[in-house]
Amino acid sequence: MRHALPLVPQFYVTAPQPCPYLAGRVERKLFTALQGDHAIKLNDGLSKQGFRRSQNVLYRPTCEACKSCYSARIRVSDFKPSRSQRRILKRNDHLTREASTPWATEDQYQLFRTYLEARHSDGGMADMDIFEFAAMIEETPVRSRVVEYYRQGDTEYGRKELSAVCLTDVLDDGLSMVYSFFEPTTQANSPGTFLILDHVEIARTAGLPYVYLGYWVPESKKMGYKANFTALEVFSEGKWQDFDLNTDYGRSFDPTENEPISDQVSQINLPDIAT
């Protein structure tokens, strides 16, 4: 009789490369392929341990001389918007939300290009063409949605205009905001914060306990806004902990503190994918 062996994910480490968040630093990532019949279970399980999805890969920073990336999530049941966040919601109440299966469109790509040119012209995605963009949106082996935000146009026919987009994974315990972009001219309305606030509301309506925000980097100004949300948790020392303003998250890091990759992998709690 022929028996099928359990599928055990294999983990790898990327070569060192310049850090996209902190100048002068070098990043490495621990990653594994996300594919096959158990992709959803693996995405659910590893997202709870600080991993993030990028197309068909799950990754987590494992830098040799730095520990400045913290996976962050909002505890939906305890979240309360601040006064400034309530104002942001009001400033964006003219937007309408539409969610669909992950399918790339030309309007999305044009907005994406405009966003990159205004905010990340020297970033790793700056040269992404429409085919690579389509792959980013559509190549997902898990439960994903494209959440689009429209404003009513000023044209004669009142054509709605795309204002913001978020690629979102639906996990068993929450929503994971994989990547978002928006019309740069709306910066005064704090669209990045608004997208998070709206995803908290989507999760609350769906009965999901968390909204995963990706990585918060305390020394990066671009990431600072993520610390402005109440009921925030960060993944640190192998567990989720309440965010504490009195904790020195950006402390200097002794490279000898970093565990060997083999030890890091052995501590990952893999979901049961034998059945």
Task: Please report, in angstroms and rounded to a whole number, the separation of the first and last CA atoms in the chain.
Answer: 18
Pairing of β 52-54 and β 29-33: unpaired
Quickly tell me which residue has 């004669």 as its tokens.
156
- Please give the pLDDT value at position 197: 98
- Rounded to two decimals, the pTM is 0.91
Pairing of β 96-100 and β 52-54: unpaired
Cα-Cα-Cα-Cα torsion 175, 149, 198, 201, nearest 10 degrees, comes to -70
Mean pLDDT for 158-175 is: 93
Whether the per-residue pLDDT at 250 is higher than 70: the answer is: no
Question: Coil, strand or helix: which one is 159?
Answer: coil
CB count within 10 Å of CB 198 equals 19
Quickly tell me which residue has 């200097």 as its tokens.
252
Question: Coil, strand or helix: which one is 78?
Answer: helix
- Please give the pLDDT value at position 268: 92
Whether the per-residue pLDDT at 214 is higher than 90: the answer is: yes
Cα angle vertex 180, ends 175, 181, to 5°?
Answer: 160
Least confident residue range of 50-54, 224-228, 271-275: 271-275
CB count within 10 Å of CB 261 equals 14
- Please give the pLDDT value at position 237: 86
- Rounded distance, CA 275 to CA 270, Å? 13
Helix boundaries (H) for 103-190: 106-119, 130-138
Whether the per-residue pLDDT at 45 is higher than 90: the answer is: yes
Quote the percentage of the chain above a pLDDT of 70.
Answer: 89
Q: Which CATH superfamily is domain 11-266 in?
A: Gcn5-related N-acetyltransferase (GNAT) (3.40.630.30)
Question: Coil, strand or helix: which one is 111?
Answer: helix
Helix boundaries (H) for 120-267: 130-138, 191-206, 261-266
- Please give the pLDDT value at position 6: 46
Q: pLDDT tens digits for 258-268?
A: 788 888 888 99
Whether the per-residue pLDDT at 21 is higher than 90: the answer is: no
Using a 10 angstrom Cβ sphere, with 0-12 exposed, 13-18 middle and 19 or more buried, the burial of residue 268 is middle
| DSSP β-bridge partners for residue 31 | 12, 59
- Please give the pLDDT value at position 141: 94
Question: What does the domain layout of the chain look like in residue ranges?
Answer: 11-266
